[in-house]
Amino acid sequence: MRIISRIYDLIYKFNDFITEKPILHAIQNGFTYMIPLVLLGSIALVLLSLPIPAYQNMMTTLLGTEWGNILQYIRDGTFNAFSLILVITVSYSYAQEFNNRQVFMIPIMASITALGSYIALLGINEPGFSISYFGVIGVFIALLVSLTSTALFRKLSSIKTFRIRLLFDGANPNFSNALSLFIPACLTITVFASVNEAVHHFIGIDDLQAFITSSLGSLFTYIRSVFWQGTIFILLVHLFWLFGIHGSNALETVAQDIFVPALETNQQLILSGHAPTEIFTKTFFDTFVFMGGCGSIICLIIAIFIVGRNKSQVRLSKMSIVPVLFNINELMVFGIPIVLNPAYLIPFIGVPLILSTVSFFSMKIGLVPYTTSMVEWTTPIFLSGYISTGSLMGSIQQLFNLAIGTVCYVPFVKLSAKAYEVRKESNLKKVYEAFRVFEEHGSTSSLTSRLDVVGNIARSLSVDFEYDLDRQAIDLHYQPIVDINGKVVSVEALLRWNHSGYGLISPPLVIALAEEAGLIDNLGNLIFDKACDALAQMKKAGIDNVTVCVNVSAAQLENDNFTQNLKKFFTDHEVRPSDIQIELTERLALSNSFKITRQIEEINKLGIKLAMDDFGAGHSSLMYLKEYHLHTVKLDGSLVREVIPCLDCRDIISTIVSLGKTLNYRVVAEFVEEQEQKEILQELGCELFQGYLFSKALPLGEILEYIQASNYVRKTLQ
């Protein structure tokens, strides 16, 4: 247990390390942006190469011999352009990381420059150039160029001498911005073109990508043991994958030079009447190790289905199950992600090594026949085991491997869930901190427009909130407002959104997200509908003369249909407008918006009571107390909290209470939590109280019981 806890601590620290390092964070985000293309390419690849003759014949009969052309074009636009697109996404993410750290860049210009630098380095006019370099095989160079070119471009852009500053009347501002970066972009691309030329002339490397690939392959010529050749091959493939590099493609030359000929040797021996001798073949790895793709991902998916509590991972696993059955793992690798994710480092490397070793010795001792038949790598598990070995023992070995791999992944799925919970709480805290800044400055929040962790969480919350709002899975709780004797005279309807992953979300943050997402009117309608329903339930329970108070925002009052919607709710639930009290904030009342002022007049005409919330914070205009015909004024919480030690707060409250008697409005003291507070407030003339001293906000059923109990106590006292 102590070891697991230690691993968990290391994972949490490494996650923080990645978050703090812009390069690693940019790589993660770059691959994340690629997920839609990876999913589309995976689907096209499965449909194109499904190894079922009946399916292939059916498609040819129905659609003709060229039925797969469209799917091939999709593959060209996804996997075969993977490195090109990755250069753009990673450089864009890296540039945005600089912006998040107050180092201004134009991300799209950085991406364009990185793309030009990548092509200049590869040198597409070189004799040895292959268009395949733009696909998954070129990921290593793509990552290197996208990061270095963006860093160089940022550095050059910061030099004032290199910035062209020309302004043209009537021109698009982007024209001036783009022109100002002409010299930094030219210099950056020129640097990479010069590197290509230098490598060609001074080192003698005509094809940089081919040189890197062949260098990897040459490492295996020094390894004499077949077992260690295969083991190191598996290890390197998965190490590459952990950094987002398609390991199988990066080591394709190794597979073609060593493990494909091994299968051919077995086939020739069978034809000549001899027993096969080669265990490690390309088909061996595709069949018994890369089950569900590199990392034996099908084992991870089963482990997530068994013990996974992270709903997003479960949803992703469900989406990935079909591609993974055909050994296409990109959606899981980049979606969880496994790339640069320390939580899955050990099993992602360890499980394939274990399965490779177990399968090797199963064949060595004769339990499973050697692989002798070529099998497409997209062939599903169990079928591939049978075809490759010509025996059911091949399928049984796969089943055994599946069980071993799943058992190995289970503890790390649990570990990942713990790390996710800690990271989730940390990220939500960042959202609250960012929102608090907007509150302190009195400005409208713009959380969902951010391109960092805060923005990602805010957008995720907005999507989930819209889903729950459509299902009416948003609740109201009601906090009582009582008189001196404890009788409930009104209740305040308070929003409660219990997020499935984050728990209860702060109502002010919910309101801000609803406004940003354009959902505030829908939310407001739901709240008034529930509030009117609560009033109707009170009437049925024999509770009368209790007002329900509802807070509204400026955005709601800007809606021309606001009062019309209210009338509909009153009619539908058969309640009186006078039983509803709308609470306005000082800031809203002082907004000087003509539309809001007109809406407030309409509200008064309907007979709805008006209250001003958070009164006395220092921004109030006393004129509005009379102009808006307020029924209630609620003291600002800071005054009530400081009423015991602060004499000035007492003087302010006393003045507001005296003014209330003159202008005929009631005064409610919120946030009353101690008996001493209540006694002092009562001495100052307050007669209505709200706070934890009396009750927290309660669900509808419980608030009905509370009101009935308070009325019973009141009658007993009388």
3-state secondary structure string, 373-426? CCCCCCCCCCHHHHHHHCCHHHHHHHHHHHHHHHHHHHHHHHHHHHHHHHHHHH
Q: How far apart are CA 39 and CA 203, in angstroms?
A: 40
Amino acid found at 543? I
**H or E, element range at 551:** strand 547-551
Q: In 10 A of CB 191, how many CB atoms?
A: 17
- The span from the CA of 483 to the CA of 710, in Å, is 10
Taking the C-alpha atoms of residue 206 and residue 661, their distance in angstroms, rounded to an integer, is 92
Spatial contact of 582 and 611, defined as CB atoms under 8 Å apart: yes
The helix/strand/coil state of 689 is strand
Residue that the structure tokens 């927290």 belong to: 696
Task: Please check whether residue 52 is in contact with residue 379, taking contact to mean a CB–CB distance below 8 angstroms.
Answer: no
- Tell me how far apart the alpha carbons of residues 606 and 604 are, in angstroms, rounded to a whole number: 5
Instruction: Give the integer Cα–Cα distance in Å for 620 and 639.
Output: 14
* CA atoms of 424 and 464, how far apart (whole Å): 15
Question: What dihedral angle (degrees, nearest 10) is formed by the CA atoms of 118, 123, 127, 131?
Answer: 30
Strands 688-689 and 475-483: antiparallel
Which residues make Cβ contacts (< 8 Å) with residue 286, sequence separation at least 6? 327, 375, 377, 379, 384
Question: Can you spell out the DSSP letters for 151-213?
Answer: HHHHHHHT-GGG------TT--HHHHHHHHTHHHHHHHHHHHHHHHHHIIIII--S-HHHHHH
Contact (CB, 8 A) for 416 and 310 = yes
Domains, the chain: 224-443 (no CATH), 475-496+510-717 (3.20.20.450)
The encoded tokens of residue 48 equal: 């194109």
Which DSSP category does 698 fall into?
A: B
CA distances from 159 to 149, 154, 162, 163 (A): 16, 9, 6, 7
Is this prediction's pTM over 0.95? Answer: no
* Among 168, 183, 39, residue whose Cα is nearest residue 109: 183
Q: What is the mean pLDDT of each run of 10 residues along the chain (718 residues)?
A: 54 55 76 80 80 84 89 89 90 80 72 93 79 80 90 87 64 69 90 89 75 75 87 91 75 84 93 93 95 92 89 83 85 78 86 96 95 88 94 96 96 80 79 83 74 78 88 90 89 90 87 88 91 91 88 83 88 90 71 73 86 65 65 84 87 87 87 90 90 91 88 48
What is the Cα–Cα distance from 556 to 514, expressed in whole angstroms? 11
Look up residue 173 and give its amino acid: P
**Per-residue CA distances from 389 to 274, 287, 367, 401 (Å):** 15, 10, 11, 15
Of residues 385, 415, 416, 389, the one with CA closest to residue 401: 385
Give the pairing type, strands 632-635 and 609-615.
parallel
C-alpha dist (Å) from residue 281 to 205, 229, 234, 236, 518: 31, 11, 12, 16, 58
pLDDT at residue number 101: 53
Closest CA to 559 of 601, 596, 530, 516: 596
Check residue 638 and give its pLDDT.
Answer: 82
Coil, helix or strand at residue 629: coil
Residue 163 phi/psi, 5-degree rounding, is -95, 120
As given in the structure block, the two tokens for residue 175 are: 């024209």
Task: With beta carbons less than 8 A apart as the criterion, state whether 84 and 134 touch.
Answer: yes
The angle that helices 392-441 and 453-470 make with each other, rounded to 10 degrees, is 100
Task: Give the whole-angstrom CA distance, residue 509 versus residue 432.
Answer: 8
State both tokens at 536: 């109707």
- Distance from the Cα of residue 11 to its chain's centroid: 19
Instruction: Name 499's bridge partners.
Output: 503
Q: Which residues pair with 550 in a beta bridge?
A: 582
pLDDT score recorded for residue 1: 45
